[in-house]
Chains A and B, each alone.
Chain A
Amino acid sequence: MAGIVSVIVDGIAYGMLLFLFSIGLSVTLGLMRFINLAHGAFAMFGGYVAVTLMNGYGVPFLLLLPVAFLATGLFGAVAEKLVIRHVYPMPELQQVLFSIGLAFAAGAVANIIFGPQQQPMLLPGWLAQRISVLGIDITGYRIFLIGAGLVAAAALIALFSYTLYGARVRAAVDSRRTAEGMGINVSLLFSLTFGLGAAFAGLGGALAVGFLGLDPTFPLKYLVIVLMVVAIGGPGSIAGSFIAAIFIGVIDALFKYFVPEIGGFVIYAVLVVMMVFFPKGLAGGRTA
């Protein structure tokens, strides 16, 4: 029994990471209607920032996280202003083409700078320990991930539902023209939101290194699963992405435990079933 619970907890932790990765994609898809398949590159950026700071400059782990968050957010906002916003008006196919090209290029640049090998990230001792919660052994790190994910989800939902910024974003999603007509600076809003999405991806990337490793193939490796989370959750919905990510993490873990022969198969079957019955995702087209 304890075994199953620890597997589920691990699955939830994995799901939290997926959630952090996918927030940005969900928001850009819902808000700017921009298909950004290079979103994983932001996660990778955050990961490399964290690794460089820790291994090159001895920055303590807890400090790495906000730095990765801010650095990636800034990078994202700048990229949006300089390059990405020119791609918004293009038809979807060109957006896909562009963003895949960006993903390739980002991976190649990471390869040139850091090399193709796995990056070392040594977690601080207090995180790497096994803690006993209600008689079940769980690694401290996984609990930390779950906590981080919950905090992020709560913060984002609060942001979008209760702040002026959030209201403006929702207005711009509903009707860009009307929002602009009301004096909302929509392009600034887009930059900020894109940056926010990138920041969370960067945070996710920094957190993932200790658990999934980091190398230049990161953007394309996780692209598909992040797309799945966004699709099942419903683009533009934070709560939807959250539920979808946890769902995927847990289902994957459970099936690998009980029926290892079909393990990886299941999440794709889930995707197909969900898409056929819930084409707009769990959130059904609503934001936040």
Chain B
Amino acid sequence: MNSVTSSVTSSVMRIGIGLPLFLVAVASYFLFPGQLGLIAHLFILAIFALSYDLLQGHAGVVSLGHAVFFGIGAYTTAILGRHGVSDPLVVLVLAFLVSGAVAGLLTRIVVVGNDLTRLLVTLGIGFLFFEAANKANWLTGGADGMPDFEVGRLFGLYAFDFMGKTAFWYTLAVLAVVYLFLLLVTSSPFGVALRGIRENVRRMHAIGAPVNRHLAVTYIMSGAIAGIAGALLAQTSRFASLDMLGFERSAEVMMMATLGGTGSIPGVVLGAATFGYLKDMLSVISPKYWHLGIGIVLMLSVFVLRSGIAGALAGLARRMERRA
């Protein structure tokens, strides 16, 4: 009883930082009615980044193949939609389960080895899935992707409209749930154990902690949540494509988490939103050369934001606290 209440209380206290973020998100609905599609996309990126950071920031496992679960979530949605299962929430849960199941099958390969090895194994697995999906074009549409599958009305009432209003609230709600869930997990004894694994895995083995089992559970959760993000993208854009499983997406989610401040939940949300928004803004300013802008931002960020956005903000907070 005690450990549950104390982790709930500590989570509630940590919501503190998340609350202003949530309010800004809600406000953006009224401030930017013409960009709801973009903002919903940022929410989806944030969910994906959060799922990834559970692995990288909390368990210390770096993976270059995380988009596999994102893609599986998207394709599950598309395939179910093609076969008449289209209630958004039902599909979301199914995508969650399928991605989690696949993650479960892969845990053995992922919990072994050192950092570089694991990086490359996850990379290799990512490509295997990509190629498999490419070849199985009877199921996935191959290089052409899957457009036009049924996406039903949310709660049977709200269709995914052209302006993106339904998509906005839907993705924001899921983001909030995922955010709270992660707060809970990371404040719990399980979360503390993960931190221990991240910081000194040998010692964790030495004190008898079930390291591999913890890592496996984390990997499954992380994959399942990534599947949710993928399903959301498929539902809001009515499209599933190979790039949702691809290397670029895996690399991007790693960049978003690192940019935001790996290990910090609000940081990662900010990192994902910033990165996604920058990409969009830069490509409006210069459709041909925006890669230069992004490249420069990334390079500068390692010098200016040494621990990501979260680190910079925390540093600011400390300085303000000292003055106060």
Contacts and interface: CB of A to CB of B under 8 A. Distances in A.
Classify A-B as touching or not with yes or no (CB < 8 A).
yes
Nearest to A112: B289
Contact of A98 (B114, B123, B302): B302
B292 A271 contact: no
Contacts of A102: 295, 299
Contacts of B117: 231, 275, 279-280
Given A231-B120, A265-B128, A108 B292 contact: yes
A104 B295 contact: yes
A154 interface: no
A92 B4 CA distance: 35
B299 A105 contact: yes
A272 B123 CA distance: 8
A29 B120 CA distance: 14
A204 interface: no
B255 A97 contact: yes
B135 A272 contact: no
Nearest to A216: B291
Interface size class of B (residues with CB under 8 A): 35 or more
Nearest to A232: B120
Interface string B280-304: 0000000011111011111101110
B144 interface: no
Contacts of A108: 289-292, 295
Contacts of B301: 97, 101
B316 to A, nearest CB: 19
Given A93-B62, A94-B306, A272 B128 contact: yes
A98 B128 contact: no
B125 interface: yes
A240 interface: no
Contacts of B56: 93
Contacts of A87: 302
Contacts of A276: 109, 112-113, 121
A98 B301 CA distance: 8
B128 A268 contact: yes
Contacts of A269: 124, 128
A101 B296 contact: yes
A101 B297 contact: yes
Nearest to A92: B115
A253 B288 CA distance: 35
Interface string B239-267: 00000000100010011001100100000
A105 B293 CA distance: 7
B292 A100 contact: no
Given A98-B302, A264-B131, A111 B291 contact: yes
Contact of A268 (B114, B131, B294, B299): B131
A20 interface: no
B291 A97 contact: no
B31 interface: no
Interface of A: 29, 86-87, 90, 92-98, 100-109, 111-112, 116, 224, 227-228, 231, 235, 261-262, 264-265, 268-269, 271-272, 275-276, 279-280
11 contacts: A29-B116, A94-B306, A96-B254, A97-B298, A101-B295, A101-B299, A109-B292, A227-B120, A228-B120, A268-B125, A279-B113
- 5 tightest Cβ-Cβ pairs between the two chains A and B: A101-B298, A105-B295, A104-B295, A108-B292, A271-B124
